[in-house]
Chain A
Amino acid sequence: MDQFDRSQILKWLNPIGLRNFHLALNWLKRNPYRVVGLSIITALCLIAALAPVLAPYEPRYMGWAPFLKPGPEHWLGTDDMGKDIFSQFLYASRISIAVGFAAATVAITIGVAVGLTAGYYRGRVEDLLMGATDLFLLIPALPIMILLASYLGPSVMNVVLVIALLWWCTTARVVHSRVIQVREMQFVESLKAMAFSDHYIVFKHIMLNTKDVIVAKWSLAIASAMMAEAGLAFLGLGDPFQISWGGMISNAFNRGGFAMNLWWWYVAPGGMICLAATAFFLVSMQSRKSSYSMEMV
């Protein structure tokens, strides 16, 4: 009876899309890690978006007494130039998150394009593309990142490009091997027999079958990009006018925060970098677990 009622209710709700809501709830139940990860990410994005509302003061205003301890007026105290650290901290989330998303998205787009093309067409195209990928994989990431960032000059755009340039190759490798696996499956052959174009088979069927890998790789890439950005910023290669969490730690290091043991200055941004990276790792972890690649072969 219970079962019957439920299905009736669902059928009735179907036209207004509430059935999808029910499915979404089910999905959340089955993906606990992802729920945790996604909630953290949502919270961070909200903080970034609402920074102007949430911040108690203008982050660049330098009129406060320097080196104030955390208190009700200044939750994280003030820095050497008399700026409010908490306001800086909120605004810095924008840069960190934006760089993470942008760099990862560029890297994944390149990686997926290379992996799909190489995996689907095989032959000489594959040799060429995967050879190039291997070449990029061989380059030691950190030195080249530092070199490029200092050569291109410090700007947010350059940091994004440098990270993207070094992150696409692992994606290309993973996508490539999954595509090889999928393209040999029977349904691809029947699609070919039924006159669908290569373009359509690759972009609809093969990419859909690769999506769990792509999503996992994307969220891993965001985590890595955020950490790489923090690293570059800490080394002073970030944009000096667009302070990120890494940049805040760099400031704390260069301007006496570490020396005078003002831990509130660098622990908050450091902790946020860890939290954000963990959240993205959690999201990718779940999709690795729920991957059906094992049942498929």
Chain B
Amino acid sequence: MEPLLRVRSLSVTFPTLYGPFEAVSDLDLDLAPGERVALMGESGCGKSVLGHAIIGLMSDVADVRGLIEYRGRDLCRMSEEEVRRIRGASIGLIPQSPGSALDPVLRVGRQIDEMYVLIEGKGQKEAKVLTIKRLNDVGFDDPEETYDTYPHRMSGGMCERALIAMGTALDPDLLVADEPTKGLDPESKMHVIDQLMERATGKTLLLITHDYYVAAACDRVVVMYSGQIIEDGPAHIVLTAPRHPYVIGLWQALPENGLRPMPGTMDRDKTANCRFMNRCPFRDEKCHTPQELREIGDAHLVRCCHA
């Protein structure tokens, strides 16, 4: 099947005081229509940068190379105006940090209204009706009251659900959720994920997270490390029987699997053949050859010679 989103040899480089820093290096990723993909990895592995590159939110200083195709059209080579038309209506974003992702001085409903009024050109009254319906959809008991509430009067979970309503307002085909559960307690985390999954039915979802349990709600899990994809496969396999030493380490660090922390920190060095080598318990001479992403099972790819 033709993928909805195709990312080919994408590299994102930032200039820093210590020279250029490659946040994402030569990355390939396909999202099939209707697929729900969790993008996992620790802080600084490049997962948010990848997400931002897909929705076209890269700062001017970043050097973005490669191909990001949405329905066969390259987002990087489109005019500003064309990209704008695709964003919002076709690619929805559910941002992180619910506390600051809503404008503090506008009522919640007003902010969702804007999607309908400014992007779809609907009337104010019609927009309000649609907004209230959306708020009801994401589990607000009294959507009319929520419509008239300021963000600071809502809890983190409520804000995040309002953001889900906003991100899905125009029924986009592709939803990019950037750590929607960041800073939420486990209870509201599961509630938010439930709502997100419900709203994402039939759509393609790219869920950026570093939470094992959140990732478990998806069909496919992609794990990134130091700017590369190191493991990619069906959720139940990657999360329960991982093959890459890093993902195995993550699995072992879970409380129910022994709470064994992984030693070391991510290396800034991006030239090594295996970027995980300095922390890897299995390293040997073979690791010094270039490591490619290879298929070891049904739709299961791993970047490790030991897998």
Contact = CB atoms under 8 A, between A and B. Distances in A.
A186 interface: yes
B104 A209 contact: yes
A208 B106 contact: yes
A192 B89 CA distance: 13
A193 B119 contact: no
Interface stretch (A150-158, A159-167, A194-202): A194-202
B93 A193 contact: yes
A189 B95 CA distance: 9
Interface string B102-131: 111110000000110011000000000000
Interface stretch (B70-78, B80-88, B294-302): B80-88
B17 interface: no
A60 interface: no
- B57, B95, B119 — most chain A CB neighbours (10 Å): B95
A185 interface: yes
A239 B73 CA distance: 66
B96 A186 contact: yes
A189 B178 CA distance: 12
Interface string A211-246: 100000000000000000000000000000000000
Nearest to B90: A195
A225 B163 CA distance: 44
A209 B150 CA distance: 13
Contacts of B56: 193
Interface string B161-176: 0010011000000000
B101 A187 contact: yes
Interface in A168-201: 185-187, 189-197, 200
A205 interface: yes
B49 to A, nearest CB: 13
Contacts of A292: 104
Contacts of A191: 103
A211 B103 CA distance: 13
Interface residues of B, number: 27
B37 to A, nearest CB: 19
B57 A211 contact: no
B87 A193 contact: yes
A208 B104 CA distance: 9
A194 B55 CA distance: 9
B100 interface: yes
A53 interface: no
- B84, B85, B97, B105 — most chain A CB neighbours (10 Å): B105
A296 interface: yes
A196 B100 contact: no
Interface in B4-25: none
B106 A205 contact: yes
Contact of B57 (A192, A196, A205, A208): A192
- A187, A189, A193, A211 — most chain B CB neighbours (10 Å): A193
Given A186-B96, A189-B57, A189-B95, A194 B88 contact: yes
Contact of A196 (B95, B97, B104, B118): B118
Contacts of A205: 103, 106
B-side binding surface: helix, strand, loop or mixed?
A: loop
Contacts of A200: 118
A44 B92 CA distance: 53
Nearest to A210: B105
Contacts of B101: 186-187, 190
Nearest to A184: B100
Interface string B26-63: 00000000000000000000000000000111000000
A186 B114 contact: no
B84 A195 contact: yes
Given A186-B97, A194-B88, A195-B84, A209 B103 contact: yes
Interface in A59-91: none
A129 B92 CA distance: 35
Contact of B105 (A190, A193, A208): A208
B167 to A, nearest CB: 8
Contacts of B93: 190, 193-194
- A196, A209, A296 — most chain B CB neighbours (10 Å): A196
Contacts of B102: 187
B95 A190 contact: yes
Interface in A236-268: none
A165 to B, nearest CB: 31
Contact of B115 (A192, A194, A197, A296): A194
Interface in B145-169: 163, 166-167
B105 A211 contact: yes
Given A186-B95, A193-B95, A196-B114, A208 B103 contact: yes
By Cβ-Cβ distance, the 4 closest A-B pairs, closest first, are A195-B88, A195-B87, A193-B93, A186-B100
Given A193-B95, A292-B104, 14 more contacts: A187-B100, A187-B103, A193-B55, A193-B88, A193-B93, A194-B88, A194-B119, A194-B166, A195-B84, A195-B88, A205-B103, A208-B106, A209-B104, A296-B104
8 contacts: A186-B95, A186-B96, A186-B101, A190-B93, A191-B103, A196-B118, A196-B119, A296-B100
Interface of B: 55-57, 84-85, 87-89, 92-93, 95-97, 100-106, 114-115, 118-119, 163, 166-167
